[in-house]
Structure 1
Amino acid sequence: MELGYFAMPSHPPERGLKAGHDWDLQVLRWLDELGYAEAWIGEHHTAPWEPHPSPDLLVAQALLQTKRIRIGPGGFLLPYHHPAELANRVAMLDHLSEGRLMFGVAASGLPSDWAMFNVDGMSGQNREMTREALDIILRLWSDEPSFEYQGKYWTVSKPEEMYGFLRPHIKPLQRPHPPIGVAGLSKNSDTLKMAGEHGFLPLSLNLNPAYVGTHWQAVEEGAKRSGRKPHRRDWRMVREVFVADTDEEAWKLSVGGMMGRMMREYFLPLLANFGFLEYLKHDPSVPDSDVTPEYCARHNWLIGSPATVAEKLERVYRDVDGFGGLLVFGFDYGENPEAWHKSLRLLAEEVGPRIKHLTPD
């Protein structure tokens, strides 16, 4: 099992945008030094707790400050970008990365973002736009010499050569394209069906394992549409993780630290407004009011000493029949950076060896 990182990126609203950006860069440097395999950076436009609207700016800087780790947006919100412009920008970034870039895509799930960009997410328009945009991007990166795409949302041309020297020429360094990741949250996620259909990397966001199990079913359902065979080694799972010397210390630093605060003030209320708290419950009869950071720490989070976290991680792995990558859900511990760095180090150096035998097909 490989270790990676998934950053929304999350920062408390009082954190300045530059200070939050600098924290994310510091964490990415740590991840590279500790041997983490990959990191994904999210995009949001109207959430003060998720304040970064341009993950490629962070990715571009991080690539200059790291040596080995693969980095990518996790993901670009495709309804909010012209696909031809994004295709060229991502291709250029792949060259700057010298092949370390990953390309995450998402449909966008915040109603406030939908409102800003006049996208009707309630009807599923955001998912339609995502599929159409990705289709255009992949065709622009292909060897198809020229085409005109007349879509529902975009009309894009790949023109033939003009005047003997003007032509579309920008393609990714990695051929046919960088690894594409698709994040999914809801039960039987449509975006994860798309991942299975196209052979993309499925990323399951942090839910109760009982619901995450349906995510692999969605991947398999999508794969059947195109006759593909999905591999569990490609499946990444995002989890809240905090490792300390003892279980008691890990509880104090997670529930009593920024992880608990962010969940209490933002993420759990957000999921409650979406009707998604059920995805965090170990039993459907649990009242919504009981789904607190303390409840999540007991039932969903991977927190504790290295031995405890390894045991919990193996239990999740067995519950869902295997996955290939653990992505640590990122939090801003800028006021206690040593604790977050130590947690990342213990996960890599103490938990990692304990889970080496977890190798899915």
Structure 2
Amino acid sequence: MQRDFELVQWLEHLGYSEVWMGEHHSGGMQIYGSPELFIATAAERTSRIMLGAGVISVPYHNPYMVADRIVQLDYQTRGRAMFGFGPGMLVSDAAMLGIAPEQQRSRLVEGVDIITRLLDGEIVTHESDWFTLRNANLQLAPYSHPRPQLVVATSRTPTGSRLAGRYGMGILTHGAGDVQASWAVAEEAGTEYGNRLDRENLRVVVSFHLAESRADAVKAMSFGLEPWLSYLEALNPKTYADTRAKGGHDPEKILAARGGLVGTPDDAVAYLEELWDRTGGFGCLLLTGTNWMDFEATKRSYELLMRYVMPRFNRTNARRERSFDWVYENREAFSGANQSAIDKAVASGGRV
């Protein structure tokens, strides 16, 4: 956990804009049961970077308590906290709580409705088969106006996209999926409910590991790729089998099968250009946090992306390059004019 807090500080130092932490309760690999607690500590150790709960598993909580914690963290972080909602990724988590898989998405829809109404200042009375509210209202209005940044995770069903459109939220979606289709569903729902969505609030999740060479990147993956694949097999044997069938034991092919990349900064630029064209554009690229490589290689991968990939992908150096090219192309003329001025000053003995 201390290493993860150190990583957040490193990412802020590098200039990353946001970090997200999920909620999981089983499996032994993703160990944070409360993204809100992680945010509270990370906020005390940083000053600028945005911190997101990605995501809160809404069916596992009374929606009133979720809304109340959102407001408290909004104040504690002075608006740096963001909140994502989902049905709960691990069926094993839901099983421990006695929640059937077919209940998770309906509870997500019901819970998000209550959370947003409370954040917007409503007094809510609501009877449900899993919670009851009577004249429920929040003591504090959100610190952020009109409310903190809210997003919904979407993957294999349109539930999350429709929620995003209905309540004017952002989307978290995986780059290996059909991002365009997810966004189209959200826009359609937004139109239905009078909300105009902005692609700046579309976050696309990918998996990268970068090094100075492909060989170095592949070698670094030997640290933790196989344990991660075992975890994938435990979560979803069919997905694991498909990944193995496409990738075998080759880290490059395995990650490619999962919509990710093992390679160099140049490879990442090409990948992002293709992803941008395929998705129609997005507001934020999120990188999956894994233990595929050791901590030093992980930090170096994030540094390579920020140092060499993002300036090229975002064109932030375009004007510097233009200025350099102009000076270089006119170097003879500029140098000649400068030397002529120097010669003239020398010949005149310094008299102008």
Residue of structure 2 in register with 1:127 after alignment: 105
Shift of the 227–90 alpha-carbon distance from structure 1 to 2, 3 Å rule, reads: closer
CA radius of gyration, larger in: 2
2:29–2:231: 8 Å Cα contact kept in structure 1? yes
The total of aligned residue pairs comes to 313
How far the C-alpha of 1:148 sits from its partner, in A, is 1.8
Residue of structure 2 in register with 1:158 after alignment: 135
How far the C-alpha of 1:98 sits from its partner, in A, is 0.8
TM (norm. structure 1) is 0.80
1:196–1:202: 8 Å Cα contact kept in structure 2? no
Partner of 1:75, secondary structure, is strand
How far the C-alpha of 1:59 sits from its partner, in A, is 0.9
Cα deviation 1:39-63 (Å, max 9, x = unaligned):
1110011121112111111111100
Partner of 1:91, secondary structure, is helix
Q: Which runs of 5+ in 1 are unaligned?
A: 1-20, 160-166, 281-287
How far the C-alpha of 1:262 sits from its partner, in A, is 4.2
How far the C-alpha of 1:88 sits from its partner, in A, is 1.4
Q: Are positions 1:22 and 2:2 aligned together?
A: yes
Residue of structure 2 in register with 1:177 after alignment: 147
Shift of the 266–212 alpha-carbon distance from structure 1 to 2, 3 Å rule, reads: farther
Residue of structure 1 in register with 2:48 after alignment: 68
Q: Are positions 1:265 and 2:224 aligned together?
A: no
Match of 2:37 among 42, 57, 69: 57
1:76–1:104: 8 Å Cα contact kept in structure 2? yes
**Counterparts of 1:100 and 1:25, CA distance in 2:** 16
Q: Are positions 1:327 and 2:286 aligned together?
A: yes
How far the C-alpha of 1:277 sits from its partner, in A, is 7.0
How far the C-alpha of 1:276 sits from its partner, in A, is 8.5
**Counterparts of 1:81 and 1:143, CA distance in 2:** 20
Cα deviation 1:241-295 (Å, max 9, x = unaligned):
11211122122223x232x23442112553434x5877x7xxxxxxx63355442
**Counterparts of 1:228 and 1:31, CA distance in 2:** 33
Residue of structure 1 in register with 2:169 after alignment: 200
**Counterparts of 1:93 and 1:216, CA distance in 2:** 28
Letter in 2 for 1:118: G
Residue of structure 1 in register with 2:115 after alignment: 137
Letter in 2 for 1:204: T
**Counterparts of 2:308 and 2:209, CA distance in 1:** 13
Percent identity of equivalent pairs = 30
Shift of the 233–119 alpha-carbon distance from structure 1 to 2, 3 Å rule, reads: same
Residue of structure 1 in register with 2:186 after alignment: 219
Match of 2:299 among 341, 354, 357: 341
Q: Are positions 1:308 and 2:284 aligned together?
A: no
**Counterparts of 1:318 and 1:353, CA distance in 2:** 18
**Counterparts of 2:275 and 2:233, CA distance in 1:** 21
Give 1:231-270 correspondences, 5 Å limit.
Answer: 231-254=198-221, 256-258=222-224, 260-267=225-232, 270=235
RMSD of the alignment, in Å? 2.4
Give 1:3-18 correspondences, 5 Å limit.
Answer: none
Partner of 2:148, secondary structure, is coil
Shift of the 228–105 alpha-carbon distance from structure 1 to 2, 3 Å rule, reads: same
Letter in 1 for 2:255: A
1:277–1:291: 8 Å Cα contact kept in structure 2? no
**Counterparts of 1:77 and 1:87, CA distance in 2:** 13
**Counterparts of 1:67 and 1:233, CA distance in 2:** 23
How far the C-alpha of 1:150 sits from its partner, in A, is 2.7
**Counterparts of 1:206 and 1:322, CA distance in 2:** 11
Partner of 2:81, secondary structure, is coil
Is the deviation greater in 229-238 or in 76-85?
229-238
**Counterparts of 1:221 and 1:56, CA distance in 2:** 31
Greater percentage in helix: 2
2:252–2:261: 8 Å Cα contact kept in structure 1? no
2:22–2:54: 8 Å Cα contact kept in structure 1? yes
**Counterparts of 1:222 and 1:272, CA distance in 2:** 33
**Counterparts of 1:230 and 1:117, CA distance in 2:** 35
RCO greater where, 1 or 2, for CA within 8 Å and sep 6 or more? Answer: 1
Residue of structure 1 in register with 2:323 after alignment: none
Residue of structure 1 in register with 2:158 after alignment: 189
How far the C-alpha of 1:152 sits from its partner, in A, is 4.4
**Counterparts of 1:221 and 1:291, CA distance in 2:** 36
Q: Which runs of 5+ in 2 are unaligned?
A: 317-352
TM (norm. structure 2) is 0.81
Residue of structure 2 in register with 1:93 after alignment: 73
Runs of 4+ in 1 over 4 A off after TM superposition: 275-278, 291-294
